[in-house]
Structure 1
Amino acid sequence: MGKITGFMEYERLQEASEEPQKRLKHYKEFTLHLNDADAKIQGARCMDCGIPFCNNGCPVNNIIPDWNDLVFHGDYQTALDTLHSTNNFPEFTGRICPAPCEAACTLGINEDPVGIKSIEHFIIDKGWENGWVKPQPAVVKTGKKVAVVGSGPAGMAAAQQLARVGHDVTVFEKNDRVGGLLRYGIPDFKMEKSHIDLRVKQMEAEGVTFRTGVFIGKDFPADIINWAKETISADQLNKDFDAVILTGGAEQPRDLPVPGRELKGVHYAMEFLPVQNKVNAGDKVKDQIMATGKHVIVIGGGDTGSDCVGTSNRHGAESVIQFELLPQPPEEENKPLVWPYWPTKLRTSSSHEEGCERDWAVATKRLEGKNGKVEKLIAARVEWKDGKMVEVPNSEFEMKADLVLLAMGFVSPVQSVLDAFGIEKDGRGNAKATTDGEGCYRTSVDKVFAAGDMRRGQSLVVWAIREGRQCAREVDAFLMGDSVLPR
């Protein structure tokens, strides 16, 4: 490395961000990327250790030590090329990935890990600012046609890879804009949608066709937001294309089967979050679910719940509380026990910092209200014994609730899409397809492939990009007999 002793001399630096009370007044991003001098120092903290566990901890296997060193030496364009060699969309991961690479950092064993995510954020923003991110259209066209169903990170990654080796790629998206859950599942204050729009323009210049407002299959579930205006059958898609890739998100939300669930004011998180993003985009929406002046209870302690907290606070909620069924995790992980794997520890998001009460080991027993409208939530304390949840005696309590948001994760992709193709499913309702051996990413239906949440279930954006890239290679090999695409 350029600074061999840098990890001993420099401390980790967090990216600067706007103060909570100021950022609550808007829906824009509030985290700034590093400046050149700070990025150089943070790159110098990389140890260039013999075995780069960060590389293995990253699902797309980013070549992290190399671009850390390149940033230290000020060779930003080569750093960008190195980053792009494994990751099609670092502006997505540099903003919303939880950074499993940092959990695997060798320096993290006894010090703060290298700020890998902040350096990635710096590199890609530097690339866009200087015009280094350009279309890479194929020199020769193959004449093969590929349909990609779903325009989230898995679909976008697969489409871009396939277009760059000469295939004619059409991406079908049921909603009115490209991006899938990146567009309508991630609040703008975490990732502004202009980043998606820039990539769409690049991909269109590379030959990718995007068709929005098109649902593939039939009988779309009523409890999932769908802005489709056109439907195309699975049979028609198979007839018109040489290969089909299913890359839809895990959108089937986990429900809360308790008395009072039917009351007005009880909603899935994905009935609440996407509409706010549409409003931010300038759309006029009727009957938007608002938290303004309300006592809001978010059920579910994960990222989606955190996004509900941040959005509710921006609406001007009277109070926000977030419940989690599991016990409160430790504030610090046991590094000797868990390193280099993803640790269980207490994580406080930027939305929590903006104002939120949090409570753990709480189970909702019922919801009550008047005139069909929720007014309170009755819950109880629970504890876990021998792997089973047990209610703590005499622990029942109630909370005032005007709006209850269910953010308890997602159980599977949309079943009607898989059923329309007649695809065999695994035990969790995902498309059954392997990732190794012969026939990687192939489903039980000829020339139909699956990747991302559609195959693995609810997961991270970085896993979606990895699977989209790998699936693209398998599709290219299926169509051409071999592939030059990286796996």
Structure 2
Amino acid sequence: MGKATGFLDYAREKGKEEPSLKRIKNWSEYSSKLTDEALQQQGARCMDCGTPFCHMGVEIRGATAGCPIHNLIPEWNDLVYKGKWREALDRLSMTNNFPEFTGRVCPAPCEGSCTLAIADPAVSIKNIERTIIDKGFENGWIIPRIPINRTGKKIAIIGSGPTGLTSADELNQAGHSVTVYERADRAGGLLMYGIPNMKLEKDIVNRRIQFLQQEGIDFVLNTEIGKDISAEQIMKEYDAVILCIGAQKQRELRMEGSKSKGVYLAMDYLTSTTKSLLDSNFLDRKFIDTKGKNVIVIGGGDTGADCVATSIRQNCKSVVQFGKHPELPKARAEDNVWPSNPDIYTLDYAYEEADAKYGKDPREYLIQTTKMVSDENGNLKELHTIYMKKILGDDGFHYFQEIPGTEKVWPAQIVFVAIGFEGPELSLPEHFGVNIVNKKIGASANDYATNKDGVFAAGDARKGQSLIVWAIKEGQEVAKKVHEYVEKNIQSTWS
């Protein structure tokens, strides 16, 4: 490494962010990159570890540790420190199909596993990654890679989220003819409609889609399998099919009053908002509007946080987010040791904005909704809750116990249910005749093959709800297996 003492000489800096009260007035990305000089210093903080845990990519107790696609992080950190941005891009592109996505919306488990993070703030890996790829586009270093030779094999990919796009990219570069089917009116899956614009501007997604098209990939939009085209026709026309349909079946909240007007699934809210923004800058009014409303988000994850941030931009009257778990500690707990991802208290962008506008972190912990109450017209008017405590049972498992006397009534005209996803919607797997195992498409990580010959599955539909970087990993791996399947009589070109 060029700066052996960089981790001692420089403090961690994160990307620049617009002040909360300013950024909530628009839908642009709230963060931006540092200066080249600052990023070179951040690259210098990389420690030249003998064993870099940042790119190990494993799961520890169900949580991701390190980078699943094994980015060559120390190498491009060092190249950035030396000002060799083009070489850094070459290294980054060796492992990551879409750094412009991960550099913006990945939660960066690589930073949690950074050796420096044992005692000090981690290297700013995510911000460096984003800047490398952005510089690549700005300087014209990234150009369409059009395969010279075609194999004559045809692959259909159902779903254009990160897994579908990755597998399409890999298989197209191997010389196969790839067609991606998407039921929505725009390609990108959750990158397009599931992640708000202020985290990932859609010009970034569209730019990559256009590159993939220039490289030879066909996108067929507004097309639903089983409705606009049959699964039988797909299987007849193509040599292999990959199901990359995500895990979009949202968990619903079933309790007294949950069918009141004003109760929505979180992803329906985020999707309608982004689509209306892109279609008409909200002039069509085809979105769920929280202006002047008391909003409650049920569910403590990232999707819930995005609902908080979106509601704030719509100028809601108030917003609260309910979570059933306790507030996280400020430092790692004894059972949350490095190199596992730190499970600690942080102030996400949405919570910073809520605190700035309303003077309070919007999160409520250890709280259980007991019922929802509507008015005489069926419109939601309030939520009833009770607080809980987490206890350890005699069997060694933790349980939540209600605390008598902590009942509370919350005014609410809008509720967003953000309690996760059950798995893929089942209609499409049924059309293809593939097995469902534990609410996921049955396909092992060994070959990604389903019970139906020539039909493969990858991403959240196979693995379950996960991170974008795992989606990219799944796309890379399923592409290898599909390539082997369609070219079984010739020597594989995959490394």
CA distance in 1, matches of 2:286, 2:15: 37
Structure 2 residue corresponding to 1:144, chosen from 135, 149, 153? 153
Partner of 2:239: 242
RMSD (Å), alpha carbons: 1.2
Q: Classify the secondary structure of the residue corresponding to 1:322.
A: strand
Partner of 2:381: 375
Partner of 2:259: 262
Aligned residue runs from structure 1 range 393-472, under 5 A: 393-427=404-438, 429-436=439-446, 440-472=447-479
CA distance in 1, matches of 2:38, 2:286: 46
CA deviation vs aligned residue, 1:23-55 (integer Å, no higher than 9, x gap): 111101121112210111000000010001001
Partner of 2:310: 311
Partner of 2:98: 89
CA distance in 2, matches of 1:462, 1:335: 27
Instruction: Work out whether residues 431 and 443 of structure 1, in 8 Å CA contact, stay in contact via their aligned partners in 2.
Output: yes
CA distance in 1, matches of 2:21, 2:373: 33
Instruction: Work out whether residues 161 and 485 of structure 1, in 8 Å CA contact, stay in contact via their aligned partners in 2.
Output: no
Partner of 2:215: 206
1:136: how far off? 1.0
Query: What is the TM-score with the length of structure 1 in the denominator?
Result: 0.95
Partner of 2:487: 480
Q: Classify the secondary structure of the residue corresponding to 1:390.
A: strand
Structure 2 residue 390 is matched with structure 1 residue 384: yes
Q: Classify the secondary structure of the residue corresponding to 1:338.
A: coil
CA deviation vs aligned residue, 1:318-371 (integer Å, no higher than 9, x gap): 000000011111122237842111222223211110015210111111000111
Instruction: Work out whether residues 276 and 286 of structure 2, in 8 Å CA contact, stay in contact via their aligned partners in 1.
Output: no
1:484: how far off? 2.5
CA deviation vs aligned residue, 1:9-31 (integer Å, no higher than 9, x gap): 11101111111111111101121
Structure 1: gaps spanning 5 or more residues = 219-230
CA distance in 1, matches of 2:348, 2:492: 41
Partner of 1:225: none
CA pair 180-274 structure 1, distance change in 2 beyond 3 A: same
CA distance in 1, matches of 2:333, 2:44: 26
1:430: how far off? 0.7
Identity, in percent, stands at 45
1:362 maps to amino acid? I
CA distance in 2, matches of 1:453, 1:122: 28
Q: Classify the secondary structure of the residue corresponding to 1:281.
A: helix
CA pair 337-271 structure 1, distance change in 2 beyond 3 A: closer
Partner of 2:6: 6
1:288: how far off? 2.1
Partner of 2:61: none
Mean Cα deviation higher: 161-170 or 271-280: 271-280
1:92: how far off? 0.3
1:432 maps to amino acid? G
Instruction: Work out whether residues 272 and 286 of structure 2, in 8 Å CA contact, stay in contact via their aligned partners in 1.
Output: no
Partner of 1:226: none
CA distance in 2, matches of 1:368, 1:64: 52
CA pair 26-325 structure 1, distance change in 2 beyond 3 A: same
Partner of 1:227: none
Partner of 1:224: none
Partner of 2:353: 354
Partner of 1:176: 185
Instruction: Work out whether residues 158 and 244 of structure 2, in 8 Å CA contact, stay in contact via their aligned partners in 1.
Output: yes
Q: Classify the secondary structure of the residue corresponding to 2:437.
A: coil
Partner of 1:101: 110
CA deviation vs aligned residue, 1:262-284 (integer Å, no higher than 9, x gap): 10000001111111111221335
CA distance in 2, matches of 1:394, 1:25: 40
Instruction: Work out whether residues 275 and 285 of structure 1, in 8 Å CA contact, stay in contact via their aligned partners in 2.
Output: no
Q: Classify the secondary structure of the residue corresponding to 1:329.
A: coil
Partner of 2:369: 364
Task: Provide the aligned length of Structure 1 versus Structure 2.
Answer: 470
1:35 maps to amino acid? T
Structure 2 residue 49 is matched with structure 1 residue 43: no
CA distance in 2, matches of 1:483, 1:25: 53
Instruction: Work out whether residues 253 and 268 of structure 1, in 8 Å CA contact, stay in contact via their aligned partners in 2.
Output: yes
Partner of 2:63: none
Partner of 1:53: 53
